[in-house]
Amino acid sequence: MALGELKGGIDPAGADEHWKTARTSLARIQKAFSQKGFSPDLFFVGAAIENSMADEIWDQLKKGTLSNAANLTNADQVASLCGWLCGLYIGCACRKTSIVP
């Protein structure tokens, strides 16, 4: 299971506020699911990512707080995120049918 936040605003001036809102939402998601014994993969996608945000996102990726992240304006990062999401789906579908990829 994966849950994420998508922030599509492209104004760099508001990027930090978008990240703060997303970070808070992701923390609430993690807390609510952990109270029920679940640990979903969390991800963030943003259209405007400033350097300070990138540092914090990278730290969360290294710690495992975030499972994935992408800059919506970077095609390689979006492709990587899509591959990761498809891999989660394929893995889930294979487990349901007892097929190993």
User: Band of the pLDDT at 100, cuts 50, 70, 90?
Assistant: very low
Helix, strand, or coil (residue 71):
strand
pTM: 0.82
Residue 2's Cα: distance from chain center in Å? 8
54-99 residue pLDDT tens: 999 999 999 999 999 999 999 999 999 999 999 987 766 555 544 4
Inter-residue contact 40 to 92 (CB < 8 Å): no
> Considering the domain 2-97, what is its CATH architecture?
3-Layer(aba) Sandwich (3.40)
User: Do 22 and 44 contact (CB within 8 A), yes or no?
Assistant: yes
- Parse the chain into domains and list their residue ranges: 2-97
For 66, other C-beta atoms within 10 Å of its C-beta total 22
Q: How far apart are CA 20 and CA 26, in angstroms?
A: 10
**pLDDT tens-digit map of 29-50:** 999 999 999 999 999 999 888 8
pLDDT surpassing 60 at residue 21: yes
How do 2-7 and 68-71 pair as beta strands? unpaired
